[in-house]
Amino acid sequence: MKSLGNILKVAREEKEMILRKVSAEVDIDQSLISKFEKNERKPTKEQLIRIAKFYKLSEQELIINWYSEKIADDLKYTQATTEILRVAEEKINYYKSQENGK
């Protein structure tokens, strides 16, 4: 399973670009992009979308990976992970039904 950072690094390397050039194109600091690639920091959703567009990667796939890594990182030391995810899914479905009912 590839990490988000690995996906971003491979995309950059496939385009044969240096960090400085990517930084200028997506308007994100070079050191931040480096940290994203090393999994030392996570991009914001907006930054991720800019990067996805630049590399012509699927925004949806990157966002799914981004959210799943955030959730996995939050829950990695929790005992009731499956139950937490089940309840969270129920709440999401409830919130969506409330929005649709308005």
Domains of the chain from N-terminus onward: 4-76 (1.10.260.40)
pLDDT in tens, 34-89: 999 999 999 999 999 999 999 999 999 999 999 999 999 999 999 999 999 999 99
Q: For residues 40 and 46, what is the distance between their CA atoms, to the nearest angstrom?
A: 18
* pLDDT average, residue stretch 21-34: 97
pLDDT of residue 49: 97
pLDDT at 102 over 70: no
Higher pLDDT, 99 or 50: 50
Closest CA to 17 of 72, 61, 74, 56: 56
